[in-house]
Amino acid sequence: MSSEVRRIRLTIAYDGSEYAGWQVQPGQETIQGLIESALRRATKVAVSIQGSGRTDAGVHALAQVAAFTTTNPIPVENLQRALNRLLPAAVRIVGVEVVPLEFHPRFSARGKHYEYRIWREELCPPFLARYVHHHPFPLDVGAMREAAPLLCGEHDFSTFAAADAKDALGRSKVRRIFGSELSEEGSLLVYRVHGSGFLKHMVRNLVGTLIEVGRGNLTGSGLVELLERPNRARAGNTVPGRGLFLVRVDY
């Protein structure tokens, strides 16, 4: 049996509704934990995977990326089939490939794309409820649409970051947003954002702040001021995780 070391990249889609997010947590069922358990059963050894980043409880992914190193020679096609047999239906391995040993899902990433979905009708269909934020109240969608691109560029996004255990390390909260737009698609408002990286709860806080613009409680110039002079207390509430999707990671 070959002992060649291989780096395997996984592309993963999941419905995060029933899980405590991506990252392994004691006593909680998480996406990372499920995949590591399935890999252990498939390869007969303990495997630790690294993801492109954490997604919160209830957040979904169309193409999360993870990777691990192994000496198991199992063909990637067989590994994909084995993992999907072992994983719950809410988690699917949609791609498996061998990549260079230095590949890291987080540190090799050049950007991430997220999408947040808001349902605007009075009644939310039960089959959509797990995948949208239901907000049937009046909003000035035009003002929100005009404000969204103001978030583009390199800024200190402290205003839009939740408290994190890593704050004690004093790491920069400067990130670059390449694209930020809001579109109206029937009964849905869809916010799409593409950036170099994102802080804890950042996208959900950006959406909550755009909703404050739509409610008339914040202007576009007020939004810019929050970027120039960070003030978490003046930003919008954190919207629920269920409306958020990690769409793609760029490498």
- Band (226; pLDDT cuts 50, 70, 90): very high
How large is the average pLDDT for residues 191-196?
98
Angle between helix 31-43 and helix 76-86 axes, rounded to 10 deg: 120
The H-assigned helical ranges of the chain are: 31-43, 76-86, 141-147, 202-214, 220-228
Domain 6-99 identical in fold to domain 111-250: yes
CATH topology of domain 6-99: Alpha-Beta Plaits (3.30.70)
Q: Active site residue: 15, 56, 140, 167, which one?
A: 56
Residue 1 has what pLDDT?
47
Pick the range with the lowest mean pLDDT from 10-19, 160-169, 173-182, 219-228: 160-169
C-alpha to C-alpha distance for 33 and 25, rounded to whole angstroms: 8
Would residue 56 show up in a list of annotated catalytic residues for this protein?
Answer: yes
How many angstroms separate the Cα of 149 from the Cα of each of 26, 65, 211? 39, 27, 14
Amino acid at 251: Y
Q: Domain ranges for the chain, please list them.
A: 6-99, 111-250
Whole-prediction pTM: 0.93
More confident residue, 26 or 119: 119
111-250 CATH pick, 1.10.10.10, 1.20.120.10, 3.30.465.10, 3.30.70.660: 3.30.70.660
Rounded-to-integer distance, Cα 196 and Cα 198, Å = 7
pLDDT in tens, 14-40: 999 999 999 999 999 999 999 999 999
Length of the chain: 251
> What pLDDT was estimated at residue 165?
65
